[in-house]
Chains A and B, each alone.
Chain A
């Protein structure tokens, strides 16, 4: 959907403290870095309360990245908690043709209508919470969201995310790593685009 071979792609994550949005943005940066891109990943650090709304950012470019301010006009928005698609104002400052990856059990078309996006925007809806409750028995939505992001960054595959996750989290028991791998692959397969 987007190519990182030219220009700079800016990503904004809307998550909740403790769910792993910071780690997911770091994994996205690391996977794209391994694919030869220049990358940044940084959260907005604040009072780090469990469940409080947080933002994190990525920049991805074929050239060295110099600016370090927060992302104001993202190309890609990731909403990691269904409730944030209402309260976090995910479309704030976005480009008209921005891509939204939203963790939601909601029908993608009705979500899109509710967000009030322009015709040129793209919405990928995936029930990441549902997938991880089935695969891991916990609400850890970032694995399926990374899988869905492999649709967006077409120069990396869902397997790249799964392999990286497995290497990075190697202290987890093998069954947990396998469950996360399945969650990443299901995120890619079950994402609905409208």
Chain B
């Protein structure tokens, strides 16, 4: 709902969407705004997610400001079109409500839908709560359309946990949003017939590589522009969103690195452990693409041991966030900084399984005992062959 309200205030030119749980409420609510005449948006109903994102790309390269939303297998069906949107430099803002990918069918949260898109060329921002979803939607319009960036953005939030929770959100006035987001000034709109351009051209090996290199440049600029836009919003709201949130990490010995809604319980447990003399902290990664490697390696430079908690798996490999964090630390070490501390990888919360305070305490306890395992560990998983534990929790 916070994302839908941001959409109403942003008043995009075009929305094309196809509903899927748990993102359904976003296009549903927005369709009401269209029907009630609260927005000027051209709302395109389509027959599939593939068509939805395709219509978004067409409208975006025509010069329109475009938004949409989806989840899970809907995101999966759009997969083919995401790299095309990014390569067209189509600054679409996308409400991605994280839900596990089937099978088995499951409507609840994990990050297995957005993680396969991490190499599609889209910016990925993971939000902790509804307030951050709202604020990030506003900022993402500016970020995506910035001439140094021109890259589409996924605004990720945890399905049901964040998307369906009743909680207070502080909204800006409509006028303040209109002023903050401004209007899109497209660089090479398809509909500018005086300056004709072509999208979707056939490009052989003579030029393809250079076009991709330009695209990577836009992505790399996103970290700087994100800080600028966030600083600008903070002057209006007092809420600042750096790419990485450091919660009591400055003097921490043990740090949990995590994304999205489960950061809250980690912060609660860190406070609790601090009151008992354990120097615990939480490093919340907000921006996953582009990945803020330097900030993360700097934040972890003084810790004894860190744990990275992933809400998705990479079967046969290292879970995505753990892989990035380890890569950042290795890069920092190669640049002449001290040898990194051990980083333990954990997988939690697949298919919406909760992360409880006791789970987080166990992770911190393991870190403080110096436990280290080469393979990822699982949190809250019922191990064994079934039988005796079947049906219990």
Which residues of A line the B interface, CB within 8 A?
A: 25-26, 29-30, 33, 38-43, 45, 65-70, 72
Closest to A59 in B: B167
User: B229-271 vs A: 1/0 string, CB under 8 Å?
Assistant: 0000000000000000000000000000000011111011000
Residue from A41, A43, A66 whose CB has the most chain B CB atoms within 10 Å: A66
Q: How far is the CB of A102 from chain B (nearest CB, A)?
A: 24
Q: How far is the CA of A69 from the CA of B260 in the complex (A)?
A: 13
Beta-carbon contact of A68 and B168 below 8 Å: no
Partner of A45, one of B107, B168, B263, B355: B107
Task: Provide a sorted-by-A list of 28 A–B residue pairs whose CB atoms are within 8 angstroms.
Answer: A25-B166, A26-B166, A29-B166, A30-B166, A39-B166, A39-B167, A40-B165, A40-B166, A41-B165, A41-B166, A42-B160, A42-B161, A42-B165, A43-B164, A45-B108, A66-B263, A67-B268, A67-B357, A68-B158, A68-B161, A68-B165, A68-B262, A68-B264, A69-B354, A69-B355, A69-B356, A69-B357, A70-B354
Interface size for B (C-beta < 8 A) is 24
- Which residues of B sit under 8 angstroms from A38, Cβ to Cβ? 168
- Which residues of A sit under 8 angstroms from B22, Cβ to Cβ? 45
- Given A45-B107, A69-B356, A72-B356, A39-B168 contact (CB < 8 Å): yes
Given known contacts A40-B165, A66-B268, A68-B261, what 20 new A-B pairs fall within 8 Å (CB)? Answer: A29-B166, A29-B167, A30-B166, A38-B168, A40-B166, A42-B165, A43-B164, A45-B22, A65-B167, A65-B264, A66-B264, A67-B264, A67-B265, A67-B357, A68-B162, A68-B264, A69-B265, A70-B354, A70-B356, A72-B356
Q: How far is the CA of A66 from the CA of B107 in the complex (A)?
A: 23
Q: How far is the CA of A68 from the CA of B107 in the complex (A)?
A: 17
- Which residues of A sit under 8 angstroms from B158, Cβ to Cβ? 68
User: B148-187 vs A: 1/0 string, CB under 8 Å?
Assistant: 0000000000101110111110000000000000000000
Q: How far is the CA of A29 from the CA of B167 in the complex (A)?
A: 8
